[in-house]
């Protein structure tokens, strides 16, 4: 087995992964709250952790991968009320859609997808132990974790209690002692999903679910806890605090490895700004390999600023790579010195905190060398293709594919409609718009452009 080093957020240092069980790496990654469609921020995180899992498996480890589904939450309840459907129905709809999207992105499925609603007993039991040990208190049907009961609170994010308390306040309806105390159990409100507990009917708070499910499925001291950097505080900080108080300060997770967030043209991605890109729409803009390349060209722990220009660059690069490698002969050949050096350089980059930009740079350098040598070294090309496949890239003969073709055809139709409007042929313009609408495609006209998206992604 090969050594893998990852930057541990908890210790602020790069450390070798030493599994608690020989040959097996246990990984817990925070999943989605299924109240809306998956977007490219989610996609980036899931592709990054997919690349990590594939790298660990290539290194010879058996990976046990757990990814939670938060299927009861304030956002789900609010969205379900807006749509006038049952919260459980909404959560099931979008969690199923998430799995379909991840399959389309060629992300390996987790071994376990625990749902909050399937682990209420474990959550209630954990909250009860925290109350018994003096780390939590019940009030008005709610149960809160007492952050002052944990001297290590803030160790993951590097923040101090006195700094966090500045500006913190207790919201109306909360019954907690301190603004930083957080809910482990929430008293039931009329019309909301609820379960029985020693403190009355209610539902879990946000943070407790991951602790209870991770400990149930992986046990204390599991190897890697992942999630987006924006979850470091308060979600992961609260996870560490409540879990290690529950465990009498035994280690909850050995390594915390965070993925950077996605911005669009330098701005936070949001529907209100019109820069919200769902996975469904993303796969119409470009092939899944193009998105994987775009995401992995930036270091996984760094923020990624998406732009149309970067997408086009990624698309052009992938088209060149794919064209060079898709039709390689299948027969095995003895690796040349260049192929062996490439494999060593590629692996060294991945083993060093999953440095995918450097790993991909070795790919491009090897392909350039191969072309300079008139493509005579088949073993080098095969090594490059195998390396890319180990990161989850696919070499399909129909790669030019339906998704990119749809985007190109939409550009043509929009140009035809724009020309019709410019010559005041509004009948033709309206026919194009209406026919597309029948196919589930919505056009949005701005002052100087027309954008399109699938109906339901407003």
The verdict on domain 5-263 having CATH code 3.40.50.620 is yes
Look at the block and give the residue holding tokens 């207790």: 170
Pairing verdict, β 24-29 and 62-67: parallel
Q: Which residues contact 173 (CB under 8 A, 6 or more apart)?
A: none
Q: Quote the pLDDT of residue 166.
A: 62
Beta bridge partners of 278: 39
Helices (H), 8-64: 40-58
- Tokens, residue 88: 């459980």
Q: What pLDDT, in 10s, does the model give residues 408-449? A: 778 888 888 988 888 888 888 888 888 888 776 888 887 677
Q: Quote the pLDDT of residue 458.
A: 43
Strands (E), 342-440: none
Distance of CA 340 to the CA centre of its chain: 33
Task: Give CA separation, 247 vs 66, 73, 135, 243, 256, in Å.
Answer: 20, 26, 12, 6, 18
Would you list the domain boundaries of the chain? 5-263, 286-390, 402-454
Q: What pLDDT, in 10s, does the model give residues 158-175? A: 988 877 876 667 677 778
Q: Which residues contact 192 (CB under 8 A, 6 or more apart)?
A: 77, 87, 203
The CATH T-level fold of domain 286-390 is 1.20.120
Task: Give CA separation, 1 vs 25, 57, 59, 74, 386, in Å.
Answer: 12, 10, 6, 44, 18
Q: Quote the pLDDT of residue 396.
A: 81
- Tokens, residue 234: 């308060």
Beta bridge partners of 352: 5
What are the two backbone dihedrals, phi and then psi, of residue 244, each rounded to the nearest 5 degrees?
Answer: -80, -25
pLDDT beneath 50, residues of the chain: 399-402, 456-458
């Amino acid at each position: 087995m090969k050594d893998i080093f990852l930057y541990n957020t908890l210790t602020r240092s790069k450390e070798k992964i030493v599994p608690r069980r020989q040959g097996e790496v246990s990984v817990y990654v925070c999943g989605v709250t299924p109240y809306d469609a998956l977007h490219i921020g989610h996609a980036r995180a899931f592709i990054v952790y997919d690349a990590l899992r594939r790298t660990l498996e290539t290194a010879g480890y058996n990976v046990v991968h757990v990814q939670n589904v938060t299927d009861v939450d304030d956002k789900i309840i609010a969205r379900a009320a807006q749509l006038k459907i049952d919260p459980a129905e909404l959560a099931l709809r979008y969690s199923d859609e998430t799995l379909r999207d991840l399959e389309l992105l060629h992300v390996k499925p987790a071994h376990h997808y625990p749902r909050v609603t399937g682990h209420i007993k474990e959550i209630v039991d954990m909250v009860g132990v925290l109350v018994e040990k003096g780390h939590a208190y019940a009030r008005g049907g709610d149960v809160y974790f007492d952050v002052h009961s944990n001297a290590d609170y803030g160790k993951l994010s590097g923040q101090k209690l006195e700094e966090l308390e500045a500006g913190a306040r207790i919201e109306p309806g909360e019954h907690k002692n301190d603004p930083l105390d957080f809910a482990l159990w929430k008293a039931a409100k009329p019309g909301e999903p609820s379960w029985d507990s020693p403190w009355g009917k209610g539902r879990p708070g946000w943070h407790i679910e991951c602790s209870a499910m991770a400990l149930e499925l992986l046990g204390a001291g599991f190897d890697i806890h992942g999630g987006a950097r924006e979850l470091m505080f308060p979600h992961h900080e609260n996870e560490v605090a409540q879990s290690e108080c529950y465990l009498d300060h035994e280690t909850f997770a050995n390594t915390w490895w965070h993925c950077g967030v996605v911005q669009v043209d330098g701005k936070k991605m949001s529907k209100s700004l019109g820069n919200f890109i769902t996975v469904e729409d993303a796969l119409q803009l470009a092939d899944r390999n193009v998105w994987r390349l775009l995401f992995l060209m930036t270091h996984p722990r760094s923020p990624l600023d998406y732009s149309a220009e970067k997408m086009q660059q990624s698309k052009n690069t992938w088209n060149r790579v794919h064209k060079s490698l898709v039709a390689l002969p299948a027969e095995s050949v003895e690796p040349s010195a260049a192929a062996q050096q490439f494999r060593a350089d590629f692996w060294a980059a991945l083993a060093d905190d999953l440095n995918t930009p450097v790993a991909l740079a070795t790919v491009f350098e090897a392909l350039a060398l191969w072309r300079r040598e008139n493509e005579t070294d088949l073993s080098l090309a095969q090594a490059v293709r195998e390396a890319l496949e180990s990161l989850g890239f696919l070499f399909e003969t129909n790669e030019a594919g339906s998704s990119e073709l749809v985007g190109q055809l939409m550009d043509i139709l929009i140009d035809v409609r724009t020309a019709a409007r410019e010559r005041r042929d509004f009948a033709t313009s309206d026919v194009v718009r209406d026919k597309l609408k029948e196919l589930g495609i919505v056009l949005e006209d701005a002052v100087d452009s027309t954008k399109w998206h699938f109906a339901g992604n407003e």
